[in-house]
Structure 1
Amino acid sequence: MIHALGDAPTARRVLEVAKECGLLEAFAALLNQEAHRKMREYVENKFAITCVLIDFDGTVLDTI
């Protein structure tokens, strides 16, 4: 799953990374609460991060 936080340019960058990773089809609303929980915890622990790319299993793929 990919969940974007931030402004439109940031969301566009997330989309670009998603295309590069072959995850475009995963760019959608929350598909699973566990991945959302992990994303929220990760963002709360990293103040400078505006976006986090998370795979379907909750693995953090990239930060933007």
Structure 2
Amino acid sequence: MAAGLSFRTTEESLRNAFQDFGQLVEVNLVMDRVANRPRGFAFLRYAMEEESKRAIEGMHGKSVKLE
């Protein structure tokens, strides 16, 4: 799970930020249906558990660069 995301975050920006840690199977950016913008968190799923652990360690305390 990625949390504290900017309202300008896109699934593409998340994929770009997290793809180097392994094979992303799914990126689910949770949207606010009323405001039609991201709610500030997302769920990412990798093919292997080790990849998820690398992503957690590698992104801890870092920001997602928005394009």
More helix by share: 1
- TM-score normalised by the chain length of structure 2: 0.35
More strand by share: 2
- TM-score normalised by the chain length of structure 1: 0.36
Higher Cα radius of gyration: 2
